[in-house]
Every structure is written in structure tokens, then in C-alpha cells.
Amino acid sequence: MENQPMNQRPPKTWLVESILVTLFCCLPFGIAGIVNAAKVESRFYAKDVEGAQRASSEAGKWTKIGFFIGIAGIAIYFILMILGVAAGFLAS
């Protein structure tokens, strides 16, 4: 069966999510996501659908890693701040 990628959307590129991760959480992982988004596009339009799928999951992986590191960082920050406030109360 002949695949006709031209009439379909490429697999999820995670481009938008990667840009958001770049701007809000951690730049390096966001950039890894953007590079993989480019790979998804180029492979898909070179009719390498399987390779595009692989790049898509790779892009998703980096984006999610960046996202969760950002979330974890914020959570740790909040915990430290609450501890700090509590320590301040105890000391006063």
C-alpha cells in the first residue's frame, strides 16, 4: 500500500510545546525538542514516515523532560520557601 504523506499531517512535532519549554522552563531541553521537531518534518516530507515517528517520540521525550524538570524546580523552590518562612517564624 502506497503511503501518501502529502495529504496527511506529519506526526506530532511538539514544536509549540518545545518553544514554550524553551521560554519558560529550561532552554537546553526545549532546543533539543525543536531540533527533533525539524527532523520530524524533514523525514515526513522525504516519505520516511517511520523515521518521522521516531523523531516525534524523541521530540516528545525531550519536551516532557524539560517540562517536568521545570515543574520539579518550581516545586522544590516552593518547598524551600515554605521551610524558610517556617524557620523564620520559629526563630522569631
Region at 47 (left for phi over 0; alpha for psi -120 to 50; beta for the rest) = left
Q: Give the count of alpha carbons within 13 A of 83, CB side only.
A: 6
Q: Is 9 in the site for other proteins (CB under 8 A)?
A: yes
Q: Is 35 in the site for other proteins (CB under 8 A)?
A: yes
Chain centre distance of CA 50: 21
Site mask, other proteins, residues 50-79, x = CB under 8 A?
-----------------------xx--xx-
Report helix, strand or coil for 38.
helix
Residues of the shown chain interacting with other proteins in the complex, contacts defined by CB under 8 A: 6-9, 12-13, 15-16, 19-20, 22-27, 31, 34-35, 37-38, 41-42, 45, 73-74, 77-78, 81
